[in-house]
Structure 1
Amino acid sequence: MKTVLAIAEAIRRTLEWIAFASGWLMVIMATVITFDVLARKAGLELPYTKLQELEWHFHAAIFSLWMGYCYTINAHPRVDSLTEHLSLRRKAWIELAGCVLFAMPYVMLVSWYSLDFVAQSYRLNEMSDAAVGLTHRWVLKGIYAAGLWMVVAGILSVLLRVIAFLFGGRPQEEVNLQIGHTVAEV
């Protein structure tokens, strides 16, 4: 099970690196937003629609590049009020069932079709007239598709941790699960 946990941790670390590296896009996005707001207040005549679309492109890229990592650290939406009274082992079983039956099949299906979405945009040479800097839509769609595949990786990382916890015969203290609480908090 050490190998399973090592793989899970390597996936998590890779997703963390991508997320933190893409965090610098927030600085650029904040600069664009600040410029947009100040230019409006100053009454400058600028293509504000182009600036707003650029802001949305940065927002979509940041969101996409953080999705997978957020899943591994339990920063995704869930309804914990239904499971807060359950033991860690029961939560792990629920996480395992949810990942295997719902999350993984759905996200893999969406991720698979996202590749065609990007390819079709590339083949059509889909462009945006309103864009500042990013005119080729397939680039942004590619970032979103990559984000979806990172969610698949994030789910896989959590699944491996849950499997190690449930079937590895290791004490709870040795396995850091992201299924509602870390083991140290329980």
Structure 2
Amino acid sequence: MTVSDQDSSHTPRASVTDADELLHHHTELPTTRISQWLDAILSAIGKSASWLWVVVTGVIIWAVVGRYVFGQGSVLLEEVQWHLAGAGWLLGLAYTLVVDDHVRVDVIHERLSLKTQAWIELLGLLLLLLPFLGLAVYEMVPYAISSWEIGETSQAPAGLSNRWVLKAVLALAFTLIIVAAVSRLLKVTALLFGFPRPIRIASDNNNQEDAS
């Protein structure tokens, strides 16, 4: 095999690595005591919610066996599936912000200095994310309360009752994202302004060494 063949054989692997870096680029921010405490709570909730997918899988298997083996379909089981799947997905959203593992495809952002990234995070959190989340929770809480007050049930015969539960989970999920966003905001201000006092400072030295 020639040198050019070796180089060409390694090209796809390098491109995959570059793509993975673009999708999973993390902004290394310092940690504060408050954000560390909030992140621990949100991580516990997110990891606990992930077990709902195991329950969803069990319910799906139960429904399939009942329908095709015993000839007994169940609207109730079908609605339980998407209720649990929706709750699991919603309650895991805050966890993705805590670990900064949501998809981030930005070829400019990763080439900026850490402080520039932090300024972008600060403006994005204050001007975009937190106002949107606040408005969402403001609308969703009355939405869930109204469903509870009228005793909303499924429109399908033999469907689930207490439809307000899923609507309350929706409001709870966005509230948890607000908590996650506040935690991240504290990390950003700790880096930029030294408040709250950081307990683990992210250094630019590693970035400079990588660049060299």
If the length of structure 2 is used for normalisation, what is the TM-score? 0.73
- Paired residue for 2:56? 29
Out of 104, 111, 124, which is 1:78 matched to?
104
Change (3 A) 1:61 1:81: same
CA contact under 8 A between 2:189 and 2:195: conserved in structure 1?
no
Task: Name the aligned partner's letter for residue 46 of structure 2.
Answer: A
- Preserved contact between residue 79 and residue 160 of structure 2 (Cα < 8 Å): no
Contact 1:64 1:147 in 2 (8 A): yes
Q: Read off the aligned partner of 2:179 and give its amino acid letter.
A: A
The equivalences for 1:145-184 within 5 A come to 145-168=171-194, 174-175=200-201
Q: Take 2:156 and 2:87, find their aligned partners in 1: how far apart are those partners?
A: 18
**Residues in 2 aligned to 1:77 and 1:102: alpha-carbon distance in whole angstroms:** 17
Q: Quick one: distance in 1 between partners of 2:63 and 2:83?
A: 15
Kindly state the Cα deviation for residue 132 of structure 1 after the two structures are TM-superposed.
7.3
**Which residue in the other structure is 1:50 paired with?**
76
**CA deviations over 1:79-100 (Å, ceiling 9, x no partner):** 3223121111111111111001
Alpha-carbon distance in structure 2 between the residues aligned to 1:59 and 1:79: 26
**1:43: Cα distance to partner?**
5.9
Which residue does 1:88 correspond to in 2? 114
Tell me the alpha carbon deviations over residues 40-87 of structure 1, each in whole angstroms, 9 at most, x when there is no partner.
44362212x432221110111111211112111112233322312111
Q: 1:34/1:105 Cα in 2 relative to 1: closer, same or farther (>3 Å)?
A: same
Distance 2:147 2:179 in 1: 25
Taking a change above 3 Å as real, the CA distance of residues 131 and 153 of structure 1, as seen in their structure-2 partners, is farther
- Name the SS of the counterpart of 1:74 in structure 2: coil
Query: Aligned pair 1:98/2:118, yes or no?
Result: no
RMSD: 2.9
Larger Rg: 2
Structure 2: runs of 5 or more not aligned: 1-30
TM-score (norm 1): 0.82
Q: Quick check: 1:54–1:131 contact (8 Å CA) kept in 2? A: no
Where does residue 143 of structure 1 map in the other structure?
Answer: 169
Name the amino acid aligned to 1:84: E
Counterpart of 1:10?
Answer: 37
Match of 1:126, as an amino acid? E
- Give the whole-Å Cα distance in 1 for the aligned partners of 2:84 and 2:108: 35
Structure 2: how far apart are the matches of 1:42 and 1:146? 38
Count of equivalent residues: 176
1:147-178 per-residue CA deviation (whole Å, 9 max, x = no partner) reads 010000010011100110111199x993369x
